[in-house]
Copies of this chain bind each other. A is one copy, B any other.
């Protein structure tokens, strides 16, 4: 049987308070900064459990880090993520869902699952980036 600990609740709480995706390390340092003495390994375990239970979304950043986010809904959905500040928008994609199923079936594949994520620069980060891009490069 699974036991209830303040550590797991702290992770759930911290994840819920975070805007966008966070890494295990990031969440641990956030918790640590706010005074929690929770251990790093515990944060990894708790996030893994949450993701496994479907209470958190997880994806891999382009750099290979595992990122987590509190799910606002238990329905299947995807994300539009700012690769600069982490701002995340949950998006629906019925068209993509049916497309994935169709293309898999057409090629004889079964048990199809899919990874669909859109990365970009959000509006505010786009402005900030524009300032930096102007001028001599390198």
Chain A contacts to B: CB under 8 angstroms = 60, 62, 64, 66, 80, 82, 89, 91, 93, 95-96, 99-100, 103-104, 107-123, 126, 135-138
Contacts and interface: CB of A to CB of B under 8 A. Distances in A.
A112 B120 contact: yes
B110 A114 contact: no
Contact of A114 (B104, B117, B122): B117
Contacts of A126: 108-111
Work out how many copies of this chain go into the complex: 2
A112 B118 contact: yes
Nearest to A101: B118
24 contacts: A60-B60, A60-B64, A64-B66, A80-B104, A82-B109, A93-B103, A95-B95, A96-B96, A96-B116, A104-B120, A107-B122, A108-B122, A109-B118, A109-B123, A110-B121, A111-B120, A112-B119, A113-B118, A113-B135, A113-B136, A114-B119, A115-B118, A115-B119, A116-B116
A134 to B, nearest CB: 11
Contacts of A103: 80, 91, 93, 118
